[in-house]
Structure 1
């Protein structure tokens, strides 16, 4: 009697896991850089410029979080 066993898992082995970890890390770094860039650029604006945009200084961090992380 003969039988076969097939495995169609999504596990790509160690290289797949390492690639996923590296991609996750680079995505996190890119998101953080976008957050910092947004905070820095909005913080550099004067009160008048922020007012023209309809923003207040207290909103800068929240806006940066939305831009970078979609929160």
Structure 2
């Protein structure tokens, strides 16, 4: 069960990270996100 939860968290991290990385700098700026913050935001979203 713990392995499954870890996998789901990892998938959520990768999905969030990928979606944010695909945004342009202008789109990120509109959201109030710096490109350097993407990793931390993705980790928070996944529960790390």
TM normalised by structure 2 equals 0.96
Which among 9, 17, 23 is matched to residue 39 of structure 1? Answer: 17
C-alpha distance in 2 between matches for 1:49 and 1:55: 9
Aligned-residue Cα RMSD (Å) equals: 0.7
Equivalent residues in 2 for 1:1-71 (5 A)?
Answer: 23-69=1-47, 71=48
What are structure 1's unaligned runs of at least 5 residues? 1-22
TM normalised by structure 1 equals 0.66
Q: Greater CA radius of gyration, 1 or 2?
A: 1
Give 1:42 shift. Answer: 0.1
Give 1:26 shift. Answer: 0.3
Greater share of helix residues, 1 or 2? 2
